[in-house]
């Protein structure tokens, strides 16, 4: 959530957010699984002002200090329209800090989260959307 100031929120994670973050932590870096217990105490404290589905977390009502972030799990996927997108979970200062969705090609604002079945390891999705072929009769 770079750029404009995040929009404050004060709510628990939705079932979809929680399931996605859990799956990503289970599939992420070797260190990512140690953050799974923090998920139970995670709360959404802000959302991205651009309208995408990115959110920032607090854990046990403690907001991670501003500063460098460390990516715990990083995946990419294609939308139904064929846009290449990414999603990552990150930590700051030892606390689970957020879920970021972004458009790799810059052509879409991701207002919804991907299904885990769409996710591929970063760098494994083909550069171009699958082409459709037509048969000449």
Distance between first and last Cα of the chain = 51
Banded model confidence at residue 135, pLDDT cuts 50, 70, 90: very low
Banded model confidence at residue 123, pLDDT cuts 50, 70, 90: confident
- The neighbouring-strand residues paired with 59 are 42, 62
Amino acid 133: pLDDT = 37
Tokens 């879920």, residue located: 99
Amino acid 9: pLDDT = 96
Return d(Cα 45, Cα 10) in angstroms, integer: 5
Amino acid 106: pLDDT = 85
pLDDT above 70: residue 127: no
Least confident of 29-33, 35-39, 94-98, 120-124: 120-124
pTM, to two decimals: 0.86
pLDDT above 50: residue 130: no
Amino acid 3: pLDDT = 64
CB 96 within 8 A of CB 103: no
pLDDT single digits (tens) 37-84: 999 999 999 999 988 999 999 999 999 999 999 999 999 999 988 899
């Amino acid at each position: 959530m770079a750029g404009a100031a995040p929009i404050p929120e004060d709510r628990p994670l939705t079932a979809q957010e929680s399931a996605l973050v859990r799956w990503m932590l289970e599939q992420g870096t070797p260190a990512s699984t140690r953050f799974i217990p923090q998920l139970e105490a995670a709360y959404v404290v802000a959302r991205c002002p651009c309208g995408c589905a990115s959110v920032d977390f607090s854990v046990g009502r403690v907001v991670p200090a501003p500063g460098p972030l460390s990516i715990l799990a990083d995946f990419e996927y294609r939308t139904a329209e064929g846009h290449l997108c990414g999603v990552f979970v990150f930590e700051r200062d030892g606390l689970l800090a957020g879920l970021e969705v972004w458009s790799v090609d810059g052509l879409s604002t991701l207002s919804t989260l991907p299904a885990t079945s769409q996710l591929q390891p970063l760098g494994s999705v083909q550069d171009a959307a699958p082409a459709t072929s037509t048969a000449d009769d």
